Structure 1
Amino acid sequence: MKAIFSWLNKPYYFNPKPLYKLKISIYHGLFIFLFLYIFRPFYLHEFDEIILPYTIGIGITAFVATFLILYLPALIFKDYFSEDNWTIGRNLLLMFVGVTFIGVALWYFGEIYKEPYNLRKINLLQFLSYTFLVSLIPLTFFVFLNEKNIRLRREKKVKEIRELKKVQELNNTEKLTKEVSITSENGKEKISFCIDNLVYVTSQGNYASFFIKKDDKINEKILRVTLAKIIAKLEKYPTIIRCHKSYIVNTNYITDISGNARGYLLKSKVIEIDIPVSRSFSKQSLLRLIS
């Protein structure tokens, strides 16, 4: 049981792009149409005369229902569908709800379509059992294999990055000691610090939290300013990199990197949290993030 909960809590990738959801919906509707039309499982052999229009209608209904279940909940419950917190368990729950919703939609369409032809009807629970058998079990198996494959690929890349770092010549002899000042959006407040003491910055809504090292302690300072403005001010410093939409890091403090199915994480000996990395980073870009 502990192993199952541990697996359900593993990070998993959730793609928020509407185009990706549209593609998945099209593929799902097309698969259901072809599967039902070609193999005619369960009771569909009775539909010889209307099998083509019936399965096309089922496919279109599956496409629309799939897109709605992928698009609308993520639009309404943005925090729950956050990419950084997505897990296998949440993905399976979405699939369970989605398959149930799609199954009800398909059953309703089928019952309406069969009425004029006086075809045999099927109750909702039996239809849902067929839907789960055809969809949920294979999808769960796919999630298991997909998470494992993505995680292993990221772990392999992490290993390659570490090996490249070992043979790369270090060029950190020149230390930046210039004082930096960041001004707030309204121009009334500012934060000043030595660039070498900046560990990382993260966004907190309209505010940014600066984590600055002083006397072996990490102090947090908050300023109303965007990360875009901060990185524009600090981009001339080669060790300061925006690695994620919500994080700017000083690579002098990053010591290691790890990877899972959701993405890459930066590790540091002086901070407790792992810092996420945007999936758009290339291997060479990731290499720059490790000192």
Structure 2
Amino acid sequence: MQNLLYSFILGVFIAGFLIVFQPFGISRWESESKVLHLLAFGGVTFGILVFMKVGVMKVFPNYFKEEKWTVGREILINFTVLCLITIGNFLYAVNIHLFPFKWEVFLWSFSAVVSLGVFPIFFNVFLKYKRGISKYSEPVMVGAAKEEKETDILLKAENGKDSLNLKAGELFFLESADNYSKVVFTAENELKQELLRGSLSSMESQILDEKIVRCHRSYIVNLNKTEKVTGNAQGYKLHLNGIETVIPVARKYSSIVADLK
């Protein structure tokens, strides 16, 4: 609904601007249906925005996920929208004999569309950026942890000799350390760490607990140990109970944060 409203408002803005100010030589254009034609330009803009924001977003939902949003991506999307609006309105203008079908006229039309659309688009990008900052910049306190499953975890080193056996509730995180994986856990109420030779990926394949997950190329974390989440969709941070180490969450893994809220 928000996308439809935004599309409608921008369409009305375009039509209203053309009718009131009649820029780009429109004031010299004589036609009995001039106002209706100018309204139609707003209608074409509205239709293309609906196509992009409703149709395309449903076909490619992963591309438009909130956690993947960046200012650069938003500008690229809006630039694509401007190109489509230019094509749509240019073809309509040619059809009503307002413009001749020429490349130089098309480029001129594109500059006209950009000059009209740059301010509402900038405002929209700014609002999305501010909304994202306000939504995610404050720490998110994670509710009381559910009773942890006492899953047994057996981590074996690549040499087949060294291993570490512990309960899921004892594990905090694993961190990549060159050719080793550093395991941080508790034993006898003390925080300990141990190095096992082997990649983080090999350690990950040995862990079957659904709450112990990869969150970064260098980290595997026990989500049950999370006390709070800070940062935003561009980069979350997990703060674990009782330890100072802050675990980064890469953007590709940011969906795990939603499960904590």
TM-score by length of 1: 0.54
**Against the structure 1 CA distance between its residues 280 and 38, is the aligned structure 2 distance closer, same or farther, given a 3 Å change threshold?**
farther
71, 78, 82: which one aligns with 1:88: 71
Say which structure is richer in strand.
Answer: 2
Structure-to-structure mapping, 1:232-251, within 5 angstroms: 250-251=223-224
75, 86, 89: which one aligns with 1:106: 89
TM-superposed CA distance for 1:57, in Å, is 1.4
10, 15, 36: which one aligns with 1:28: 10
Query: What is the aligned partner in structure 2 of residue 259 from structure 1?
Result: 231
Asked which structure has the greater CA Rg, the reply is 2
Say which structure is richer in helix.
Answer: 1
Q: Determine if the alignment matches structure 1 residue 58 to structure 2 residue 48.
A: no
Letter in 2 for 1:258: T
239, 249, 253: which one aligns with 1:273: 249
Alpha carbons 1:88, 1:143 under 8 Å: kept: yes
- Return 5+ residue gaps in structure 1 as ranges: 1-18, 166-170, 182-192, 201-211, 232-239, 241-247, 287-291
Alpha carbons 1:99, 1:135 under 8 Å: kept: yes
**Against the structure 1 CA distance between its residues 151 and 58, is the aligned structure 2 distance closer, same or farther, given a 3 Å change threshold?**
same
3-state SS of 1:49 partner: coil
Alpha carbons 2:67, 2:255 under 8 Å: kept: no
Letter in 2 for 1:265: Y
- Return 5+ residue gaps in structure 2 as ranges: 153-165, 174-182, 186-191, 195-199, 213-220, 240-244
Quote the sequence identity (%).
Answer: 21
3-state SS of 1:257 partner: strand
TM-score by length of 2: 0.59
TM-superposed CA distance for 1:91, in Å, is 0.8
Structure-to-structure mapping, 1:1-291, within 5 angstroms: 19-45=1-27, 46-47=29-30, 49-75=32-58, 77=60, 79-113=62-96, 115=97, 119=98, 121=100, 123-140=105-122, 142-144=124-126, 146-148=128-130, 150-152=132-134, 154-155=136-137, 157-158=138-139, 179-180=150-151, 194-197=167-170, 216=193, 219-221=203-205, 250-252=223-225, 254=226, 256-260=228-232, 262=233, 265-268=236-239, 269=245, 271-273=247-249, 276=254
TM-superposed CA distance for 1:40, in Å, is 2.3
Count residues in correspondence: 208
TM-superposed CA distance for 1:111, in Å, is 1.6
